[in-house]
Amino acid sequence: MSKTFRIIIWLIVNGLVILLYPPEYGLHGGPNYRYKEKQCFSNQRMMLSVIEMYNMDHSQMISEINENVIDILVREKYLKTKISYPDPRKCKYLSRGELMNDGIIYCEYHGSAGYNSNKSEGVPPSKEYEKYIEECVIDSKYHYIKHVAPGFVIFIITTVLAFF
Protein backbone atom coordinates (compact mmCIF):
# COMPACT_ATOMS: atom_id res chain seq x y z
CA MET A 1 0.00 0.00 0.00
CA SER A 2 1.28 3.45 -0.82
CA LYS A 3 1.89 5.92 1.97
CA THR A 4 -0.74 8.35 0.62
CA PHE A 5 -3.35 5.61 0.54
CA ARG A 6 -2.56 4.61 4.14
CA ILE A 7 -2.86 8.23 5.31
CA ILE A 8 -6.25 8.57 3.56
CA ILE A 9 -7.45 5.38 5.31
CA TRP A 10 -6.11 6.80 8.60
CA LEU A 11 -8.08 10.03 8.11
CA ILE A 12 -11.30 8.19 7.23
CA VAL A 13 -11.11 5.71 10.11
CA ASN A 14 -10.31 8.34 12.75
CA GLY A 15 -12.88 10.72 11.33
CA LEU A 16 -15.51 8.01 11.73
CA VAL A 17 -14.32 7.25 15.28
CA ILE A 18 -14.69 10.91 16.27
CA LEU A 19 -18.18 10.99 14.71
CA LEU A 20 -19.32 7.76 16.35
CA TYR A 21 -17.54 8.16 19.68
CA PRO A 22 -17.19 11.86 20.45
CA PRO A 23 -14.83 11.67 23.46
CA GLU A 24 -16.72 14.07 25.73
CA TYR A 25 -20.20 12.65 25.15
CA GLY A 26 -21.26 9.24 26.29
CA LEU A 27 -24.65 7.74 25.60
CA HIS A 28 -26.29 10.17 28.00
CA GLY A 29 -24.06 13.20 27.76
CA GLY A 30 -21.18 11.70 29.73
CA PRO A 31 -20.42 12.87 33.26
CA ASN A 32 -22.65 15.94 32.78
CA TYR A 33 -25.87 13.98 32.66
CA ARG A 34 -27.61 16.15 35.29
CA TYR A 35 -27.25 19.45 33.46
CA LYS A 36 -30.83 19.53 32.15
CA GLU A 37 -32.17 18.91 35.63
CA LYS A 38 -30.14 21.89 36.90
CA GLN A 39 -31.55 24.09 34.14
CA CYS A 40 -35.04 22.87 34.99
CA PHE A 41 -34.60 23.69 38.69
CA SER A 42 -33.26 27.12 37.92
CA ASN A 43 -36.35 27.71 35.72
CA GLN A 44 -38.54 26.73 38.67
CA ARG A 45 -36.76 29.13 41.07
CA MET A 46 -36.90 31.90 38.51
CA MET A 47 -40.64 31.45 37.87
CA LEU A 48 -41.38 31.33 41.58
CA SER A 49 -39.57 34.61 42.26
CA VAL A 50 -41.18 36.24 39.22
CA ILE A 51 -44.64 35.15 40.40
CA GLU A 52 -43.81 36.53 43.84
CA MET A 53 -43.06 39.90 42.25
CA TYR A 54 -46.24 39.74 40.17
CA ASN A 55 -48.29 38.96 43.26
CA MET A 56 -46.86 41.95 45.13
CA ASP A 57 -47.98 44.22 42.28
CA HIS A 58 -51.48 42.78 41.71
CA SER A 59 -54.51 42.22 43.87
CA GLN A 60 -55.57 39.41 41.53
CA MET A 61 -52.77 37.03 42.51
CA ILE A 62 -51.39 34.02 40.69
CA SER A 63 -51.97 30.88 42.72
CA GLU A 64 -50.89 28.17 40.29
CA ILE A 65 -48.68 27.76 37.24
CA ASN A 66 -49.83 26.80 33.76
CA GLU A 67 -49.16 27.82 30.16
CA ASN A 68 -51.65 30.65 30.49
CA VAL A 69 -49.84 32.09 33.51
CA ILE A 70 -46.50 31.92 31.68
CA ASP A 71 -48.08 33.87 28.79
CA ILE A 72 -49.35 36.53 31.21
CA LEU A 73 -45.90 36.87 32.80
CA VAL A 74 -44.32 37.36 29.37
CA ARG A 75 -47.01 39.78 28.20
CA GLU A 76 -46.65 41.90 31.34
CA LYS A 77 -42.85 41.79 30.99
CA TYR A 78 -42.14 39.92 34.21
CA LEU A 79 -40.45 37.33 32.02
CA LYS A 80 -38.28 38.57 29.16
CA THR A 81 -39.07 35.58 26.97
CA LYS A 82 -41.11 32.43 27.16
CA ILE A 83 -39.53 29.78 29.38
CA SER A 84 -37.22 27.43 27.50
CA TYR A 85 -37.76 23.85 28.50
CA PRO A 86 -34.50 21.92 29.06
CA ASP A 87 -36.25 18.72 27.96
CA PRO A 88 -38.93 20.06 25.62
CA ARG A 89 -40.80 16.77 25.24
CA LYS A 90 -40.71 15.87 28.96
CA CYS A 91 -40.66 19.04 31.07
CA LYS A 92 -44.03 20.34 32.18
CA TYR A 93 -44.39 22.88 34.97
CA LEU A 94 -47.06 22.39 37.59
CA SER A 95 -47.61 23.72 41.07
CA ARG A 96 -48.57 22.25 44.39
CA GLY A 97 -50.29 24.36 47.02
CA GLU A 98 -51.12 28.02 46.43
CA LEU A 99 -48.16 29.96 45.10
CA MET A 100 -48.97 33.01 47.25
CA ASN A 101 -48.90 30.76 50.32
CA ASP A 102 -45.69 28.70 50.21
CA GLY A 103 -46.85 26.66 47.21
CA ILE A 104 -44.13 25.15 45.06
CA ILE A 105 -43.46 24.86 41.34
CA TYR A 106 -42.26 21.52 40.07
CA CYS A 107 -41.62 19.71 36.83
CA GLU A 108 -43.67 16.64 36.03
CA TYR A 109 -40.49 14.96 34.73
CA HIS A 110 -37.62 16.33 36.91
CA GLY A 111 -39.52 16.92 40.17
CA SER A 112 -38.99 20.01 42.32
CA ALA A 113 -35.79 21.93 43.03
CA GLY A 114 -36.02 21.48 46.78
CA TYR A 115 -36.86 17.80 46.78
CA ASN A 116 -35.48 15.97 49.80
CA SER A 117 -36.43 12.31 50.07
CA ASN A 118 -35.39 12.09 53.75
CA LYS A 119 -37.66 14.89 54.90
CA SER A 120 -40.30 14.16 52.26
CA GLU A 121 -40.10 17.79 51.16
CA GLY A 122 -40.95 18.84 47.64
CA VAL A 123 -41.98 16.67 44.70
CA PRO A 124 -39.89 13.63 43.67
CA PRO A 125 -38.74 13.15 40.08
CA SER A 126 -40.81 10.89 37.83
CA LYS A 127 -40.05 7.16 37.75
CA GLU A 128 -39.01 7.61 34.13
CA TYR A 129 -36.38 10.20 35.09
CA GLU A 130 -35.13 8.10 38.02
CA LYS A 131 -34.62 5.20 35.66
CA TYR A 132 -32.77 7.45 33.22
CA ILE A 133 -30.45 8.66 36.02
CA GLU A 134 -29.69 5.08 37.05
CA GLU A 135 -28.61 4.36 33.47
CA CYS A 136 -26.53 7.54 33.44
CA VAL A 137 -24.75 6.61 36.67
CA ILE A 138 -23.71 3.26 35.19
CA ASP A 139 -22.80 4.87 31.89
CA SER A 140 -20.65 7.57 33.48
CA LYS A 141 -18.84 4.98 35.64
CA TYR A 142 -17.64 3.28 32.46
CA HIS A 143 -17.47 6.51 30.48
CA TYR A 144 -13.75 6.34 29.71
CA ILE A 145 -13.72 2.63 28.98
CA LYS A 146 -16.77 2.80 26.72
CA HIS A 147 -16.40 6.13 24.99
CA VAL A 148 -12.81 7.31 25.22
CA ALA A 149 -10.60 4.21 25.32
CA PRO A 150 -11.88 2.54 22.08
CA GLY A 151 -11.25 5.68 20.04
CA PHE A 152 -7.81 6.10 21.59
CA VAL A 153 -6.82 2.48 20.85
CA ILE A 154 -8.02 2.75 17.24
CA PHE A 155 -6.11 6.02 16.87
CA ILE A 156 -2.85 4.45 18.11
CA ILE A 157 -3.18 1.32 15.93
CA THR A 158 -4.08 3.18 12.74
CA THR A 159 -1.36 5.78 13.35
CA VAL A 160 1.28 3.06 13.67
CA LEU A 161 -0.03 1.33 10.51
CA ALA A 162 -0.24 4.55 8.50
CA PHE A 163 2.98 6.30 9.43
CA PHE A 164 5.52 3.62 10.42
Give residues in contact with Zn ion (CB under 5 A).
Answer: 40, 91, 107, 109-110
Q: CA 65 to CA 94: how far, in whole Å?
A: 6
Nearer Cβ to Zn ion (64/108): 108
Instruction: State the nearest-atom distance from the C-beta of 40 to Zn ion, in Å.
Output: 3
Instruction: State the nearest-atom distance from the C-beta of 35 to Zn ion, in Å.
Output: 12
Instruction: State the nearest-atom distance from the C-beta of 32 to Zn ion, in Å.
Output: 16
Nearer Cβ to Zn ion (38/141): 38
Instruction: State the nearest-atom distance from the C-beta of 107 to Zn ion, in Å.
Output: 3
Q: How many CB atoms lie within 10 A of CB 93?
A: 21
Nearer Cβ to Zn ion (33/109): 109
Residues contacting 15, CB < 8 A, separation 6+: none
Buried b (16+ CB within 10 A) or exposed e, 2-14: eeeeeeeebeebb
Nearer Cβ to Zn ion (17/123): 123
Amino acid at 33: Y
